Structure 1
Amino acid sequence: MEKTTQPKKRKQNPLYQQRNEDIRHRSLVLGQSDADIAVAWGMREHTVRTVRWELGIRSSPADAPKNLNKRCHRLMTPVSTLHQQIGVKLDAHRNFVAKQAPVEFSHQMRMSYMRLRKMELGAWDFTLSELIKIADTVGIPLEELVRQANHPTWEPPKQTRKVSTH
């Protein structure tokens, strides 16, 4: 009869059991990050991640990304209403006239994808050469491109002072 050897279950030190349970509690219930737990227990973050892994906790809710990506389109705010209006015109031309994806259209305009997206959202402060390029691409005069919707035409202010002739 052959003797089969099974790995021995090591008896864990009660202090380690207490530490592991505290790490589980801090991670799952309190939602603390690995860094906070490491400071509380005086250990490295890597050790905390290893303990969590051994306990079957694959990720800590506190260590999840907070969507603070600066490139996130939802967080981009327009520079002004005029910038936003120019962006809407550019986006409408790309979608309905050119019928191109942003990446293809950005290559056509010889600019980066992110710059195009920022322009379409109004979060890019245009240079004069960029405005000329947009006007040529969209096919409208530059004056019409930069005309604000709430100020359809610009007129010089009328003089209200009378000029006296002595």
Structure 2
Amino acid sequence: MDDGYAYVYKDGLGISVAPGESVFLSFIQNFASNPSGLVYTTLWKNNNGDTVFVSLVRDDGKGQFTVVDDAGNWNTKIGNAVLTSKSHWITLELRRATSSTASDGYGKLYIDGVEDVIRDGQDNYDKFTSLNYIRLGVPTGSSKTGFVIDFDEVVVANRMVRPPLPKGINL
């Protein structure tokens, strides 16, 4: 807990990402009202400590994410769906480009298992060789007065993961 704002992080992950492969971060997210400005919700770093991906919630209640490419450009995409006032199963996918000359890496935002938006054409081959750090939650510098967001059921995987279901329910 940092000045009343909670977030959790895990470092030392040491996840190697093969060319053309993806890492998925999934979680349940809920907030009752929109923040008064951009609020950072996740931060991903490689083994060198370089930022490779960030996600945010906007003041209109939509998701936003940024893929950082090999040149250090922050390439942003704004989601379509408004996320306010109910729980959603959020999945973020970051795919590594297939070669150092390819621009076929991408970031994707899925809401309740459905692709909402993609930022493709990314040359992140050299930058996204590994994932070593993930932070989930709102750091103090990004907090907005009165904004409360809840996270639950966090999963990091190499494939799309369905949301956890109550015992006895199968899809």
TM-score range, shorter chain: under 0.3
TM-score normalised over the length of structure 2: 0.20
Report the structure, 1 or 2, having the larger helix content.
1
Greater RCO between the two (CA within 8 Å, min separation 6)?
2
Q: Which has the larger radius of gyration?
A: 1
TM-score normalised over the length of structure 1: 0.20
